[in-house]
Amino acid sequence: MNMSLEGKRALVCGSTDGIGKSSAILMAKRGAEIILMARNQEKLLNTQNELSTDAGQTHSHICANFNEPDSISIKLKSQLDGPIHILVNNSGGPKGGELIKADLNEFRVGFERLLISNQAITQSAVSYMKELNYGRVINIISISVNQVIPGLGVSNTIRGAVAQWAKTLALELGEFGITVNNILPGYTATNRLNELADSIAKETGSTPDEIFDSWGKNTALKRVGRPEEIASAVAFLASDSASYINGINLSVDGGRFGA
């Protein structure tokens, strides 16, 4: 199985924390040249310094806010120079809460961040991929695409839309040698999950540790995931070994069976 990414150039979004950062680090170890993309300049620089250069890669970064897709399009036109072989779409989700209580603006912000920004970034990357007749678009979504997560009403709604967007792209882009796949992480130990645990703990009178324990018990492996475990799935789908995998939702959730 060929898992090497040498000679490949990857644009990794939301790559200064959690799953995005772990994915960038792993793909760099496997030889890819990485373009980091996130909104915090200091974190971008720190992460860039952590990336392996054993294959002689030169890594770079683009500072951008995923809540501002029009600005992202402008930045990519001025700062992104091809080729781009791999795109990882990834960003933080909307805040938690019941769907019926959600403010209308929460939906607008969520769609801008998770769907419209994905569209803007993918349009830029695919223009290079079509020239190469090769590409990998990998979208980090959520296990909520399979089964909604209580307390994440807006996120559940928008994540489902992103999944359908991606499957449509898979149909449209396959003839150009470009695959489009979705990774659906279960509960994964990231800063985002820590914030969610804190919020639920306050509402229920529990502790964050008790919340994490309950999440873990709802998986066959009896624990939450680690960002590097999701990154392994990203790196596989980015590799040549995944050349005939297209339009799928890949659950990486430890065998989740409950809420």
Rounded mean pLDDT of 78-82?
91
How would residue 93 be classed by pLDDT, with cut points 50, 70 and 90?
A: confident
pLDDT above 90 (res 202):
no
HEC string for 54-107: CCCCCCEEEECCCCCHHHHHHHHHHHCCCCCCEEEECCCCCCCECHHHCCHHHH
Q: Kindly give, in sequence order, each residue whose CB lies less than 8 Å from that of residue 24, ignoring residues fewer than 6 positions away.
A: 10, 12, 15, 34, 36, 47, 51, 88
Segments forming the whole domain that contains residue 180: 9-187+226-252
Give a yes or no: residue 46 inside a domain: yes
Token digits of residue 135: 């590409």
How far apart are alpha carbons 57 and 44 in whole angstroms? 17
Give the H or E element holding residue 7.
Answer: none
- Indicate the length of the chain as a whole number: 259
Report the domain count for the chain: 1
pLDDT at res. 259: 66
pLDDT above 80 (res 57):
yes
What average pLDDT does the chain have?
95
pLDDT at res. 68: 95
Give a yes or no: residue 237 inside a domain: yes
Q: What is the CATH number of the domain that holds 145?
A: 3.40.50.720
- Phi, psi (5° rounding) for residue 67? -80, -5
Give a yes or no: residue 220 inside a domain: no
Give a yes or no: residue 201 inside a domain: no
Give a yes or no: residue 193 inside a domain: no
Peptide bond into 94 cis (omega under 30): no
How would residue 195 be classed by pLDDT, with cut points 50, 70 and 90?
A: confident
How would residue 95 be classed by pLDDT, with cut points 50, 70 and 90?
A: confident
Amino acid of residue 27: M
pLDDT at res. 38: 98
Rounded mean pLDDT of 141-160?
94
pLDDT above 90 (res 70):
yes
Lowest mean pLDDT across 10-14, 25-29, 133-137, 202-206? 202-206
Of 138, 158, 100, 132, nearest in space to 20 by CA? 138
For residue range 164-192, what is the model confidence (pLDDT) as tens digits?
999 999 999 999 999 999 999 999 999 88
Give a yes or no: residue 48 inside a domain: yes
Token digits of residue 134: 């090769």
Give a yes or no: residue 217 inside a domain: no
pLDDT at res. 193: 87
Give a yes or no: residue 216 inside a domain: no
